[in-house]
Amino acid sequence: MSENLVYLVTGGCGYIGEHIVKLLAIQEYVKEVRVFDMNESEEIMRCNTASTSVKFIKGDITNYEQLLKAVEGVHVVIHTAALLDIFDTVPFKKMKAINVGGTENVINACLAKDVPYIVYTSSIAAVGPNINSEPMIRATEETVYTGEIELSYGKTKQLAEQLIRQANGKQTSHGKQLATCVIRPSNIYGEKTSNLLDAYLSAKAKNNVINYIEPENIDAQYAYVGNVAWMHVQAARHLYLKPELLGGEVYYVYDSTPMRQRYKLIYELFTQVDPSIQMGHRIPYWKMWLIINIYNIIQYIVRPFWNLKPFMTLPILNIIVTSFSYETDKAFRHFGYQPLFNWAECKKRTCEWLKNVVHDVPKQHGKHKET
């Protein structure tokens, strides 16, 4: 096989997928990047270079026939497409059809069309927290954490992970051996992070004050989206080069982001954009619990004539106040991964994006509700 490789990125116009496509387009060993998504992005289409073409393919991962056509002649698939719904507003059956059924379609299409490499984008939600809110602190990929997963989204990602890992070593239609690996991001920030913009607008609406929910001793993991994408690109490259080492493995995403509490991270970022922003106070768990339950009652009352969307749920609240983190260097040991962007660059790029997008937000968003 030549080094003029053809990659397919499912969900390539999405949050992580877009960053992956941009990085793939500048790799000298990549000849073509196919972007398989339901919605086209003009920004992605501008990623063409002199040596690498970027092609958009409109499609749905729940449509097996569309996937079969898309993977024809592809060497490596990076499967990022998924339905992310942490508020359980989408029926579980639908989410499972996309996140699990879609992943099964990707695997079967690769087996049928002789595509031997799949990198799957999972999530730390595939591990937990569980319904008992048991913490996991500074774990590794080998840590065993049990119990029923709290989020429906996490349940679907766990099932999809199992399919991907079980597919490792299967024979394709022409006798090649399928090699698969899993990338598990945790909390991501950076350009186009919608909840980061929401948090900034919320702080501005509250007289430049950041209030927070999580305990001060919380331990969580944060990584810049560009580094999350870079780990995918590096894993895909080395899965192709060393399938016997990476095949069937799982890798947590990490970088040099020093904060392990969300309120400290957003404070560091927001003060770079607006030095007048100040740290506020912690909202007690009991108060948030009460607010959520009152909101749920109101939501139930108005449901017949108004679809009031949840701003938070009790499962999300429990996750926010539960330490759930990892500490690992497995990706470095297996394929030499090092973050593409250091902390200073991550902060600079995120703040530049935030400054630009805030400038474009209409003034009426100054009345933005807290999220």
- Longest pairwise C-alpha distance within the chain: 64
The model's pTM: 0.93
Q: 354: exposed, middle or buried (C-beta count within 10 Å: 0-12, 13-18, 19+)?
A: buried
Active site residue 153: yes
Q: Which of 7, 153, 200, 267 is catalytic?
A: 153
Looking at residue 362, what is its pLDDT?
55
Question: Residue 314, Cβ neighbours under 10 Å: how many?
Answer: 13
Question: Distance between CA 60 and CA 57 in Å, rounded?
Answer: 10
What SS3 class is residue 136? strand
CATH code assigned to 5-192+222-258+324-341: 3.40.50.720
Give, for all 371 residues of the chain, the pLDDT tens digit.
458 999 999 999 999 999 999 999 999 999 999 999 998 888 887 887 778 899 999 999 999 999 999 999 999 999 999 999 888 888 999 999 999 999 999 999 999 999 999 999 999 999 999 999 999 999 999 999 999 999 999 999 999 999 999 999 999 999 999 999 999 999 999 999 988 999 999 999 999 999 999 999 999 999 999 999 999 999 999 999 999 999 999 999 999 999 999 999 999 999 999 999 999 999 999 999 999 999 989 988 888 888 877 788 999 999 999 999 999 999 999 999 999 999 999 999 999 999 999 876 654 344 333 32
Task: Tell me what pLDDT residue 102 has.
Answer: 97
Q: What is the DSSP string of 74-121?
A: -SEEEE------TT--S-HHHHHIIIIIHHHHHHHHHHHTT--EEEEE
Query: Helix, strand, or coil here: 170?
Result: coil
Give the ranges where the chain is alpha helix by DSSP (H): 15-24, 42-45, 64-70, 92-96, 102-112, 152-167, 194-205, 225-241, 243-246, 262-273, 285-302, 314-320, 330-335, 343-360
pLDDT of 24: 96
